[in-house]
């Protein structure tokens, strides 16, 4: 039988929406089958698999523990503390049930919130799965977030209990969590009734009598506990996750139970091509959406072992990630372009030091993937490198290429593009002024999704339906569509190219320029390893572009090279896109998950307070920028 074109398959997922997703719903266990596949009676809201009852923890743990209890489930490696642990599905169920018993003992039940402020340790995954088991709503906050930011999230989520640890570690530097947490609770209006502390022995801390609980003590007490899964209606909230870079009142993305489970199960098969019993390795953090979807829930739901890593890509050396691929026979890996750019500064021979024969593909997301970086890592690993684009709000890839859908032609990758719209997403390019759909190739528009969003996407903003509607669905004139707030173009073959945030557009003397376009151009210069471009206020032109570039060889930094880079931009994009300055730095400011802090760069360049920098990986990065700007 001849495979059908992917475009036809995608069209069917939209035209025959309910039957399409009814088929995918069979991938998970339901206690009660769904009575209605999709309820779209109240746009922009959508309810998936209405009336069906299921449980995320059952689908991620229990059903596999029953069938193959001794197979590996959770693999934890920390190069920070030199430890590793391996849990089978049977052992994982025991840990999760013991944790669930602790929560129940503290009177945490269905609908109660539990805030998780943890480093990358197994207990963080146990906490998430235990909440899912009993129907509590977890809200993970990235470990090490500043007290004021954490306090705002405590007030928004109103957790009954907080789970935390004494400290995290990054590049050998211990970051105590408890003082930050204590200050956050002091600052917050809402006061959680209990704090469950995991003591790793990294940093001494003071316990608050009557509030702080010892995890090790409770774990011993509840060893062997049996706590049944709570069967939840599909649209019951499973968790909230606050979007990175939020200013003002936190914006908690709210996810459901059934739709999320179905979406992840389908993506693990059709997008990532994983198989039960294999090993999936995501280098993200549980504080971000990738950690939720593709460290904890997705691989486990699919019956794969998931590798959870505490460490950096270069400690003890720049081959550490590949040593883990070899040791644990990783078949599918998920990382970020920024992590690859870090590795790119090291000897490419390190990519060949380990046996990578198990690895079938490397997926990259989180930042736009430039062509030089994609080529470098693809040639170095000799495996497909697959870009993908999505958001905290969507929960799973919106744009990528799918190679594993039975009976459907594989979609080849195209350098510079994350790919084509995934099944279930009705993706459109719209004119930001008129809302008109742009159909001609290479037109620049706002990337949007028509109602309804597919399963797994956010239900609403926690506690604020009006904000959900107004923020995401009413920004394009005359249209009620979900805006990604990203500029994009689409070529004649349907591949989408992301140009940057609609709010990262530089308006230079009336010319609107996307920072992403300038970054792509500069990154093509032979001397440049990595670059970030921001728009900076200018009294004459409104804004000018300033580029911050990391050189392959720092010794090459000179005014002559700055001029050469500017000429390169002139030749590729025209003089209007030429940066006012090209500043050569040794490192760009990034979070510990590898996300570039462009807004912090812009603030420093404009002499403003860059705001909360708790998640900054290298505190010296912005100090270096300040020094260069003062010259």
Q: What is the mean pLDDT of residues 31-50?
A: 98
For all residues of the chain together, what is the average pLDDT?
93
Distance CA 18, CA 36 (A): 9
- Indicate the domain borders of the chain: 6-311+388-473, 509-630
pLDDT digits (tens, 9 = 90+) for 514-544: 787 788 889 889 999 999 999 888 766 778 8
**Overall pTM > 0.75:** yes
Residues 6+ apart with CB under 8 A from 377: 340, 343, 344, 351, 362, 364, 385
Distance CA 582, CA 348 (A): 27
Q: With cut-offs at 50, 70 and 90, classify the pLDDT of residue 246.
A: very low
Q: With cut-offs at 50, 70 and 90, classify the pLDDT of residue 512.
A: low
Q: Which of 492, 518, 495 has the alpha carbon at shortest distance from 418?
A: 495
pLDDT digits (tens, 9 = 90+) for 175-214: 999 999 999 999 999 999 999 999 999 999 999 999 999 9
Q: With cut-offs at 50, 70 and 90, classify the pLDDT of residue 503.
A: low
Q: Does 6-311+388-473 carry CATH code 3.30.930.10?
A: no
Distance CA 308, CA 285 (A): 9
Distance CA 561, CA 91 (A): 57
Q: With cut-offs at 50, 70 and 90, classify the pLDDT of residue 248.
A: low
Up-side HSE of residue 582: CA atoms within 13 Å toward CB? 29
Is residue 152 scored above 50 in pLDDT? Answer: yes
pLDDT digits (tens, 9 = 90+) for 369-389: 888 889 999 999 999 999 999
Q: Which of 188-197, 355-364, 428-437, 622-631 has the weakest average pLDDT?
A: 622-631
pLDDT on residue 403: 87
- What Rg, from alpha-carbon coordinates, does the chain have? 24
Q: With cut-offs at 50, 70 and 90, classify the pLDDT of residue 247.
A: very low
What SS3 state is found at 449? strand
Q: What is the mean pLDDT of residues 302-313?
A: 97
Is residue 68 scored above 90 in pLDDT? Answer: yes
Q: What is the mean pLDDT of residues 155-172?
A: 96
pLDDT digits (tens, 9 = 90+) for 465-490: 999 999 999 999 999 999 999 999 99
pLDDT on residue 245: 39
pLDDT digits (tens, 9 = 90+) for 556-575: 999 999 999 999 988 777 77
Q: Which of 180-184, 359-363, 617-621 has the weakest average pLDDT?
A: 617-621
CATH number for the domain whose boundaries are 509-630: 3.30.300.30
The pairing of strands 399-400 and 420-421 is antiparallel
Task: Could you list the beta-strand ranges (E) of 434-515.
Answer: 445-449, 460-461, 482-490, 496-501, 505-508, 511-514
Residues 6+ apart with CB under 8 A from 406: none
Query: At which residue do the structure tokens 């471009």 appear?
Result: 533
CB of 471 closer than 8 Å to CB of 541: no
pLDDT digits (tens, 9 = 90+) for 578-618: 899 999 999 898 876 677 888 788 888 888 877 766 667 77
Q: With cut-offs at 50, 70 and 90, classify the pLDDT of residue 26.
A: very high
Is residue 92 scored above 60 in pLDDT? Answer: yes
Distance CA 598, CA 462 (A): 27
Q: What is the mean pLDDT of residues 34-50?
A: 98
């Amino acid at each position: 039988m001849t495979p059908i074109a992917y475009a036809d398959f995608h069209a069917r997922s939209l035209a025959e929406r309910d039957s399409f997703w009814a088929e995918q719903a069979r991938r998970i266990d339901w206690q009660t089958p769904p009575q209605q596949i999709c309820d779209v009676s109240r746009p922009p809201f959508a309810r998936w698999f209405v009336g069906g009852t299921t449980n995320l923890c059952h689908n991620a743990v229990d059903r596999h523990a029953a069938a193959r209890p001794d197979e590996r489930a959770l693999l934890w490696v920390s190069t920070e503390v030199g430890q590793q642990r391996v849990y089978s599905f049977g052992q994982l169920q025991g840990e999760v049930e013991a944790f669930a018993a602790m929560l129940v003992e503290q009177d945490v039940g269905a609908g109660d919130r539990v805030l998780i402020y943890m480093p990358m340790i197994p207990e963080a995954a146990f906490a998430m799965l235990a909440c899912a088991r009993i129907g509590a709503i977890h809200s993970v906050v990235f470990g090490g977030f500043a007290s004021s930011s954490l306090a705002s999230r405590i007030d928004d989520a109103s957790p009954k209990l907080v789970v935390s640890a004494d400290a995290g570690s990054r590049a050998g530097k211990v970051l105590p969590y408890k003082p930050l947490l204590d200050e956050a609770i002091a600052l917050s209006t809402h006061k959680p009734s209990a704090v469950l502390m995991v003591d790793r022995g990294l940093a001494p801390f003071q316990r608050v009598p009557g509030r702080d609980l010892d995890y090790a003590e409770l774990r011993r007490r509840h060893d062997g506990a049996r706590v049944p899964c709570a069967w939840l209606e599909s649209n019951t909230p499973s968790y909230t996750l606050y979007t990175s870079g939020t200013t003002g009142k936190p914006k908690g993305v709210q996810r459901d139970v059934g739709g999320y489970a179905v979406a992840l199960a389908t993506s693990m098969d059709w997008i990532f091509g994983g198989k039960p019993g294999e090993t999936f390795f995501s280098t993200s953090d549980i504080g971000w959406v990738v950690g939720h979807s593709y460290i904890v829930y997705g691989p486990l739901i699919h019956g794969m072992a998931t590798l959870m890593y505490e460490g950096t890509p270069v400690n003890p050396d720049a081959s550490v990630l590949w040593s883990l691929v070899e040791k644990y026979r990783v078949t599918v890996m998920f990382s970020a372009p920024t992590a690859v750019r870090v590795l790119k500064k090291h000897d490419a021979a390190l990519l060949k030091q380990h046996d990578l024969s198990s690895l079938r593909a490397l997926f990259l997301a989180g930042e736009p993937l430039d062509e030089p970086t994609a080529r470098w890592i693809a040639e170095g690993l000799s495996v497909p490198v697959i870009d993908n684009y999505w958001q905290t709000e969507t929960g799973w890839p919106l744009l990528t290429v799918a190679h594993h859908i039975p009976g459907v032609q594989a979609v080849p990758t195209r350098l510079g593009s994350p790919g084509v719209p995934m099944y279930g997403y009705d993706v459109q390019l719209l004119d930001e002024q008129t809302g008109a759909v742009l159909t001609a190739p290479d037109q620049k528009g706002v990337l949007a999704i028509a109602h309804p969003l597919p399963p797994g996407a956010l239900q609403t903003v926690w506690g604020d339906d009006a904000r959900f509607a107004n923020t995401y669905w009413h920004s394009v004139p005359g249209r009620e569509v979900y805006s990604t707030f990203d500029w994009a173009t689409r070529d004649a073959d349907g591949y989408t190219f992301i140009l940057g945030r609609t709010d990262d557009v530089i308006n230079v003397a009336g010319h609107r320029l996307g920072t992403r376009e300038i970054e792509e151009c500069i990154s093509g210069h032979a001397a440049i390893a990595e670059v970030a471009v921001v728009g900076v206020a200018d009294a004459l032109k409104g804004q000018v572009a300033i580029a911050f570039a990391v050189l392959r060889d720092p010794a090459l930094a000179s005014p002559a090279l700055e001029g050469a880079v500017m000429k390169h931009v002139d030749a590729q994009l025209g003089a209007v896109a030429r940066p006012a300055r090209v500043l050569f730095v040794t490192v760009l400011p990034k979070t510990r998950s590898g996300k570039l802090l462009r807004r912090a760069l812009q603030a420093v360049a404009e002499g403003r307070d860059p705001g909360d920098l708790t998640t900054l990986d290298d505190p010296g990065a912005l100090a270096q920028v300040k020094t260069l700007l003062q010259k």
